[in-house]
Every structure is written in C-alpha cells, then in structure tokens.
Chain A
C-alpha cells in the first residue's frame, strides 16, 4: 500500500467513527452552514461537535500549515480527504470568510505574529470575520474609499462608513480597507487593518434586501480603535492586498455558477410534459434550458482546464479573468429558469406550499451576484484592458 492508500484508509475509518449522523445529511439551507464565532448560530448541536473534532486534526482548513491550526496536508491528501467526506456525504465542518478570504491574505501578507494570533482561531471557528470594503461612494470605484484611520501614537482611530458589509452584525472582527494618506493617487494611501467589532465606536445596521433577507449591513465607525500590531503589510499597501483578496472573493462567487442541482430539463418535463419522442413540450423553454446546460458544461470544463494549467506549471492563464463574470451570469440564468419552470409555485413568498418562498427568494438574491465583488461590467472592463490590451477611453 502506498502512503496515500494508508492515509485514505485511516481517514475513512476516522470519518466513520467521528462524523455525527446529522452531519451526513445534505445542506438544505444557509442555517445548515456552520460559520462559528463568539456567538455562533447553531441550527443543530452536532454542528459544534463536528467542527471541534475536525479542528482538532486541523481538518477544518486541511491545506493550511499545522503551526497555524491547519492540517498541513498536501494537495493529494486534501483531495483524498474531500473524496472520503463526499463518500459519506459529510458536510464541511466550517465555512467562513476567515477561511476563504482573510486567511489567504494573512498567509501571503501577514507577519509571523499576526498569523499566530489570527489563523488558529479561524481554524477552530472561534472568531467570525467580516469584510469592510465598499462604501456609499466607493462601489465599483472601490479605490475612492474615504474611511479614515488616524495615527494616535499607540493605536489607529477609525472614522467613516462601510456598506454591504456581509454579516457585520454577527461578526467578531473586521478586516477593513482604510485611508491612511490623502496626498498621492487614490490607490496609494489605502491600508489594510484588522479590528474588533465588539467596541463602542462600531455600529452595524442590517440592510433588508429585495429577497427579504438581511445578509449585509451598513457599518459605522465613530472613533473606533485598531491596534497598531493589526496593520497588515506596510502602511499604504492595502490596495495590493485588497486586489489579491478580491480574486479569492470572485472565485468564491463564481463557484455559484457550478452549483449542481436537479436537472432543469427533467423538472420542466414534470411541469409541462413530453412529446412521444421524449422531448419537453415547450420547445422555446427547452432550447433555453439546453443552452444553459451547454454553457454550464463548458464553464465547468474551463474551471477544470485552468486548474490543470496551474498544476502543470503553465501559470494562471487569462481564462481565470472570466470566472466571476460568467459564473454569476450563469447563476442568474439558472434562477430565471427555476422561476419559469415553477410557475405559480415558484412565485409564493411565504407558507409551506411555497417552501417559504425559497425559489423566488433565491432568484431575487441571485441578481446581486453580478453586482457584488465587482459588477459584470467592471469585470468586462478588466478583461478588455488587461487581457485584450484595448486602450483606456
């Protein structure tokens, strides 16, 4: 047996013995995703048990180094672990912005002290993070942000306002872009800081969306305090870190485009019926479904190709620049089709018959996918300028 086979065998046995039954059921809604934090939202007590057991082995973030709370696994072992978890239908024990966004930025730009202070609590699900990027007058034009951080000797004083701060009302800490210098270009003078949300100078107010949920907040800083040791990178280096982090965010959002699900074609046949040769009765709908499925297949192949190109040492090619744009547009198309196929049943807002509006709320929420994290139009600008070499206006 190779080492990898041994690892697979041991992993399989350990998962069998330690993954609670309740954690082997599919994730049905957002509540089933465990995000941790000082005040964790617990839909099922086994979420906590499962997270603790996995964190003990470093397997909440298996590819991070062991000294920072990760599993220290190589990519082949991570793949085995993922496969073995999929085999028994095990849920991911922990999912958070700390893992998907702040962690990669700290590993790349943080100093040793910052990594040791912040990464292990992310792995254990003890601290929940939020991201302070957009402001009322800095959306697509993010670099125009005006939230100030003033050097007060042994700390920074933060004043200003952020918006679209995901889960700011539930987060313990924030990683935040602040202006520390107004003299140079707008990209210079931005710094990347970490500070506590649980302090008198911070207020988070949830924003109710068209979908009825409130995942985002307006966040106000009124003489809030950031410790000096929590400046990440150099003063004025924030834009570089922000861009790096945005690529992680865009990858995460574009992942929505690959969400598997019940075949739309078969769902449509249940509603509309099929002709004698098995074709969906409504030919116009059928074409749109087929085109969607086709593009999904080709998009997945593109994610696979880009991943394989990186693994084979060819580097991250220009195709990666389309992920955010294309993945979110695909997700919007899927939601449009879900509404069309469901008809009246898809339009209900509440009540058991309508599954509390799951279809239409998801449809409404999907409209934000091509706005958040850089609009589709900004993405196309980036492709035109950086990839195609077309000049500025």
Chain B
C-alpha cells in the first residue's frame, strides 16, 4: 500500500474542509457554548453531514454505510479537528458504530448500523469509570438474572451522553478488576429504567456526561457476543478509537500551527514582524518537523486499520502517544506565540488548547500509550 491518499480520499478531504469551515466551524462551537443550553451540536447540520454519507463512512455497505473504510473516516475527523466541529462523528460514528460492528451479533448490527449511517440514531459508548482511562479496570457489574442481565455502576466521560438513544456499555460479568477476561458488552437503551444521565460541563464545551446504571434490567438479547469474552474485539475498537482521536488531534494541531504562523507574519513589535526573530523561527521550524511526522504516522495507522494489520495495537499506541505529544506542543506554542491575546477568551486560539487536552485524554493519553508502546516492544 502506498502512503498517500487516493483520489476519492482527496476529494473527500476537500469537501469536508469546505463544508465544516462553513457550517460547523469554531464560531459555531463558540455560539453553542455561549447559548449555554446544553445543545451538543446543530441537528440540521448533522443531518446534512449524514446526507453526504459521513455518518456511515466506515460502516460496510451491507449495513447501509459507504464502506470507505477508516482512512476515509480519518480524513473527515482530521477536518473536524481543524474546525473544532461539534457533531456526533466521534460518539456515534467512530466509537459506537465501530463497537457494534466489532462486538454485535447480526441482529444488533441490522438494527443499529443502518440507523447510525442514516443519522437517525445516535449511540454512544460507555467505557471509562474513573478519572483515568483504564480498560481492564472495568468494574460496572453485570449479573445474570432469570431471562436477562442486571447492570450496576457508573460511567463517565460518555460523549454526547444526553443526546444518545442507546449506549454500548462495557461491564464486568466475571473475573477480577484488572483482568481482561470477564468483560462483556451490552446495548442499553438510554430510556431503560434505572439509567440516569447527568451532564458534565467540560473545558472543551462539548457535550459529555456521567451515566449511572442503577439496577438496570436488560433482556438477554442486549448482550453483544459471548458473555465475558468481549476483550479481543474490544481491544481492536479501542485501538481504532485511539487512531481516530489522533486524526482529530492532527487536524487541530495543524490548524493551531497555521493560525500561529499567520500571526507571526503580521504581528509587529520592535518595529518589525515578530516572525523575523530567529528565536521564534527555530521553534516554529522544529514544530513543523514534528507535525510532518504526525501526518505520516496518522495516515500509516489509518491504513493499518483498513488493511487488517495484525499488530494494530503497536501502531495505535505509537500514533496516539505521538499525537498527544505533538498536540501538547502545538497548542502550548500557539498560545505562547500569540502572547497576551492568546490568553483572552475572545480570541479563538484558546479553544484549541482546551479541546486538545480533552482529545489527548480520550482513549488514553501520552503516558498510557507510550507505556503500552514500550510494553508491546518488549521492554
């Protein structure tokens, strides 16, 4: 496989860049934040995005998707990252559709995937339980009961939690906390009895919530795959999620960098544009080098998903670790090089810093993935 986008992907990139800059831009995120009514995204814009096929971009054609693969989805996610676009692309498309396709049975796939692809259903994934991302630490309990299951526990960092009609819930049906065996996945309607969703106001102004499961009774057909055996498929989903969020971090970092370069070329101090100072030039050039590495590794990782690469975990952790590192530098340098105006709420560059930290955390930060990368490398 060659490490370049094909013609179809290049066209997709162009149309996503144009559409998102116009209809789901940083200005829209700011407006939603300032309205303060908890709206996660503009439903009309999301319907347009679904109309272009983006909600089903990586979903196989057999389930009503476009079948463009994850490289296609990654191209759109990168542009969404550039524009800080509020939409269910992350919650429903990257996370839930991937989980349902990997973990669900035929009936569940037929029920949910075409609906997600059409933009009619919004599903989210409920995984994280503590302040830290720690998948083997899943502790939400699932006990078998008569003709079904009873779930009990609390999930946090659930994206678009208040807008979701259903959750893919990762639970422990056997084994001890910290073990990968004994993890089960369930599809739970958001209106099931005992499910309480509470909003969390996060720094990036995107919708996110805590979902509490109190004696939630679900039927046997809510179980996805075999009880206690979700891990191998789940691990692949987590790798895909890490790569998808890396693509967003790439777009975010490139945009913050380009805005900063434009500022360096126009802002004057000491009677000259500040971009002429070598102290800033070398930092900018070194960051440019890191961004070029980031571009390459994200594309390599997206292609590895589509190629069914058998060491996906290694490239996924490498990619998320690298993108967390690069996004941290890019967002910090963006604020620093903008100087005082970068600290103001009125100016947009701060929104990139805020979103960067949330994306860095989601599905494993730098330290998590660098440690995993080393472990997978045998040291």
Contacts and interface: CB of A to CB of B under 8 A. Distances in A.
A362 interface: no
Contacts of A311: 2
A319 B296 CA distance: 10
Contact of B375 (A279, A297, A389): A279
Contacts of A304: 3, 296, 300
A392 B379 CA distance: 46
Given A265-B374, A278-B378, A308-B4, A388 B285 contact: yes
A280 interface: yes
A390 interface: yes
A182 interface: no
B2, B3, B278, B318: which has the most chain A beta carbons within 10 Å? B3
B293 interface: yes
B264 interface: yes
Contacts of B281: 380-381, 384-385, 388, 390
B62 interface: no
Contacts of A278: 375, 378-379
Given A308-B2, A312-B2, A302 B296 contact: yes
Contacts of A193: none
Interface in B248-299: 261, 264-265, 272-273, 275-278, 280-282, 284-286, 288-289, 292-297, 299
Given A263-B379, A279-B374, A305-B299, A319 B292 contact: yes
Contacts of B377: 263, 265, 290, 293
B321 interface: yes
B322 interface: yes
A358 B86 CA distance: 56
Given A305-B4, A308-B4, A390 B284 contact: yes
Interface in A307-323: 308-309, 311-312, 314, 318-319, 322
Contact of B379 (A268, A298, A299, A301): A268
Interface of A: 263, 265-266, 268-269, 274, 277-280, 286-287, 289-291, 293-295, 297-299, 301-302, 304-305, 308-309, 311-312, 314, 318-319, 322, 325-326, 377, 379-381, 383-385, 387-393
Contacts of B285: 325, 379-381, 383-384, 387-388
B276 A289 contact: no
Contact of A322 (B2, B272, B288): B288
A388 B284 contact: yes
Give the interface residue-count category, chain B.
Answer: 35 or more
A293 B371 CA distance: 12
A286 to B, nearest CB: 6
Interface in B196-234: none
A340 B370 CA distance: 20
Contacts of B318: 294, 297-298
B289 A301 contact: no
A5 to B, nearest CB: 21
A384 B373 contact: no
A75 to B, nearest CB: 13
B296 A286 contact: no
Contacts of B321: 290, 294
A389 B261 contact: yes
Given A301-B296, A380-B286, A387-B285, 16 more contacts: A266-B379, A269-B378, A278-B379, A286-B374, A289-B374, A290-B374, A291-B325, A294-B318, A294-B373, A295-B322, A312-B4, A314-B4, A319-B295, A325-B285, A391-B275, A393-B277
Nearest to B314: A297
A393 B322 contact: no
Interface string B302-335: 0000000000000000100110010000000000
A170 to B, nearest CB: 35
A274 B377 CA distance: 13
Interface in B74-94: none
Contacts of B300: 301, 304-305
A322 B289 CA distance: 6
A261 to B, nearest CB: 14
A280 B2 contact: no
A301 B373 contact: no
A326 B293 contact: yes
Contacts of B278: 381, 393
Nearest to B293: A298
B379 A265 contact: yes
Nearest to A277: B375
B360 to A, nearest CB: 15
A332 to B, nearest CB: 14
Nearest to A287: B370
Nearest to A314: B4
A381 B172 CA distance: 55
